[in-house]
Amino acid sequence: MQVSVGDEMAKKRAGRVLSIPAIEFRQGSGRRLYSFAIDGKLLHSFCTVSRVSRQGTETLTGYQRPEVAAHISQIRDYLESESPILPNAIVVAFDGTVRFRPHQGIPKTAYSRQGTLDIPLGPFVDETLKPGWIVDGQQRAAAMRDARVDSFPVCVVGFVTDGLEEQRQQFILVNATKPLPKGLIYELLPSTEGKLPVALQKRRHPAELVERLNFDEYSPLKGMIRTPTNGKGLIADNSMLQMLANSLTDGILYRYDDIEDQLAILKAFWTAVATVFASDWGLPPKRSRLLHGAGVVALGFVMDTVAERVGKSRQPVSSHFQQALRELAPHCRWSNGTWDFGGDNQLKWNEVQNVPRHIQMLASHLLVSLRRVAVQK
């Protein structure tokens, strides 16, 4: 009598069995998959994670990345919030010791049937004897394991294979899928309620300001910020978000809690930019660096500096900004000529790129020029 690999492994795993209601369904050329719900805190009782490593200096084993502590911490905080939801399924590769028992007399379809999935629970001598490997959802599984909650049901989709190669292939296919564009995520943030991961929570307020600047009736930037739903905009949303984040952290916008006050300052400043640099306003970044990423972020520091001069007792208005920008204009080379950043640092107007070094050079040049004009007055 022939003994299967699964039968041999089962002998090594004498112990308890977790029997759980499941749906078996077929995909492709007869491949069977199993979908079921389970308390996420039980996942590690029958699943392990095969991390990428090398045996000696040559052989690559495993396929998962190491746990990312910061990401797991964010998910855990979310799970401990008031009404969390994790709708995406954890994907698990099972070996041949897992058994599906179909229920008799229950309606089924041409591609699915209901039954019970029997999963060995050990005790296991070591992690390698566990019947399941997490192919997708390692961070979520770790967060559920560590979260200070009694339980958290989650959906699992599993498939059976004894081969590491197929597990690795499925891991690559699942994780190679193109994620949502960040711009789309940021555009959704203003209308998203509830608790979000810390990184997205920090982006929510700047994203709301971008939305208002882009769609308010009397905004000088109306329709000019390029987002996934406004592909004709000239200013990259990420550049505007960066400018806003800088000011909200260390600039004039930090002073004000009310979004209407913040918007009043932003609209006043960009109205002044449009007025003083009228010949460059509305030109695409290829023809002028005014609305280019480097220009937008650098001008944000100008806004903060001018507002600081106005003083804490007054809110800056467009005339304050216009006066300063007119004094600054002779030192600008948005669409022709060469920027003189001092020393050997000279760049033609169209050589300025949206990279940290160029942004820093441009911002420093504008701020130094402002100070020199102020001293000469």
213 and 237 together in one domain: yes
200 and 159 together in one domain: no
Residue 181: inside a domain, yes or no? no
In the numeric block, which tokens belong to residue 343? 């020393």
Report the alpha-carbon angle 22-63-55, nearest 5: 135
Helices (H), 179-292: 182-188, 198-215, 237-250, 259-276
137 and 32 together in one domain: yes
Contact 240, 285 (CB under 8 A): no
For residue 238, give the nearest of 192, 269, 274, 203 by alpha carbon. 203
74 and 193 together in one domain: no
The total domain count for the chain is: 2
Helices (H), 105-163: 138-146
Task: Tell me which of 129, 150, 175 is where a domain ends.
Answer: 175
Domain span at 107 = 5-175
160 and 200 together in one domain: no
230-259 tens-digit pLDDT = 888 999 999 999 999 999 999 999 999 899
Share of the chain above pLDDT 90, in %: 58
Contacts of 13 (CB under 8 A, 6+ apart): 97, 120, 122, 124, 129, 131
Residue 180: inside a domain, yes or no? no
- Mean pLDDT to the nearest integer, 280-286: 96
Residue 233: inside a domain, yes or no? yes
9 and 33 together in one domain: yes
4-31 tens-digit pLDDT = 334 444 444 456 899 999 999 998 877 8
- Mean pLDDT to the nearest integer, 148-176: 77
197 and 339 together in one domain: yes
Query: What 8-state DSSP symbol labels residue 65?
Result: P
167 and 223 together in one domain: no
Alpha carbon distance 12, 10 (integer Å): 5
Question: Mean pLDDT: which of 2-6, 69-73, 190-194 is highest?
Answer: 69-73
Task: Tell me which of 175, 196, 214 is where a domain ends.
Answer: 175
